[in-house]
């Protein structure tokens, strides 16, 4: 996946708590292939963005000119709750989003974000509200995100501290998945196994006898 270190881009305020994965991408659209020829970007918030005839719903925030090219999304608590569909993150990523800011996230959605190179940054409920308000009022709704420092700078210049556990932070900064992150500490794993089997030799003997 592509590493993410710093990002300065248009941010869109999406109001509401408990925005679930079915809103991010309706289940019926997941039957369509996602490959080099078909992006899931058009499916993001599909039923809020488009009428039945395919025309845009003008008052939906992503259809407003100021936010069309957004790469950062700011929303309410429990963002990405509901089903575990990884397609919800595919839709965000294919649209162009690399960062989602909210007070809390659905657990599986959170993991899927990091796995695909999208930064899920937690701030407090009050901070998320303040940031969305400043975006709605700004002539230029641009936000800067620093994954190293874990800071978010709003369009009004206010700086927010973001929460992201060190393991997820490293994976985003280096653009690595769980397997690559594990291989980086293979020497520590080998050293632990050596110490453990030295202290419990009958376990190694059992493995040898069993043909493992």
Decide: 67 and 12 in contact? Cβ < 8 Å: yes
SS (H, E, C) 105-120: ECHHHHHHHHHCCCEE
> Rounded to an integer, what distance in angstroms lies between the CA atom of residue 47 and that of residue 52?
8
Q: Which residue has the higher pLDDT, 37 or 212?
A: 37
Q: For residue 202, what pLDDT is reported?
A: 80
- Tell me whether strands 72-74 and 99-102 are parallel, antiparallel or unpaired: parallel
Strand ranges inside 5-149, DSSP E: 6-13, 72-74, 99-102, 119-122, 142-146
How many helices (H) does the chain have, and how many strands (E)?
A: 9, 7
Find the range with the poorest average confidence among 30-39, 93-102, 103-112, 179-188: 179-188
pLDDT of residue 207: 59
Question: Looking at residue 208, what is its pLDDT?
Answer: 58
pLDDT of residue 27: 94
Rounded mean pLDDT, 1-22 = 96
Lowest mean pLDDT, pick from 81-90, 101-110, 148-157, 181-190: 181-190
Work out the average pLDDT over 36-48.
Answer: 94
70-100 b/e with 16+ CB inside 10 Å = b?
Answer: bbbbbbbbbbbbbeebbbbbbbbbbbebbbb
CATH top-level class of 6-176? alpha beta
Residue 96 tokens, joined: 């162009």
Residue 130 pLDDT grade (very low, low, confident, very high; cuts 50, 70, 90): very high
pLDDT tens digit sequence for 131-171: 999 999 999 999 999 999 999 999 999 999 999 999 999 99
* Per-domain boundaries in the chain: 6-176, 177-212
pLDDT digits (tens, 9 = 90+) for 51-85: 999 999 999 999 999 999 999 999 999 999 999 99
- Rounded to the nearest 5 degrees, what angle is found at the Cα of 22, between the Cα atoms of 19 and 27? 175
Q: Cβ-count burial of 124 within 10 angstroms (0-12 exposed, 13-18 middle, 19+ buried)?
A: middle
Q: What is the pLDDT of residue 64?
A: 96
pLDDT above 90 (res 123): yes
Q: What's the pLDDT at 203?
A: 77
């Amino acid at each position: 996946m592509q590493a993410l270190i710093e990002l300065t881009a248009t941010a869109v305020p999406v109001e509401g708590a408990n925005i679930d994965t079915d809103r991010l991408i309706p289940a019926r659209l997941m039957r369509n292939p996602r490959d080099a020829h078909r992006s899931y970007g058009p499916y993001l918030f599909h039923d809020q963005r488009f009428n039945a005839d395919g025309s845009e719903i003008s008052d939906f925030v992503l259809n407003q000119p100021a936010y069309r090219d957004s790469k950062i999304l700011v929303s309410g608590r429990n963002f990405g709750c509901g089903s575990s569909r990884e397609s919800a993150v595919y839709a965000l990523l294919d649209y162009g989003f690399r960062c989602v800011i909210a007070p809390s996230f659905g657990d599986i959605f959170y993991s899927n974000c990091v796995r695909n190179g999208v930064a899920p940054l937690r701030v407090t409920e009050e901070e998320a509200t303040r940031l969305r308000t400043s975006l709605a009022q700004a002539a230029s709704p641009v936000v800067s995100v620093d994954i190293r420092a874990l800071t978010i700078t709003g369009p009004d210049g206010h700086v927010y501290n973001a929460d992201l556990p060190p393991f997820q932070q490293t994976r985003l900064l280096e653009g690595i998945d769980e397997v690559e992150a594990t291989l980086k500490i293979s020497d520590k794993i080998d050293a632990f196994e050596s110490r453990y089997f030295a202290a419990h030799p009958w376990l190694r003997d059992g493995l040898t006898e069993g043909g493992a």
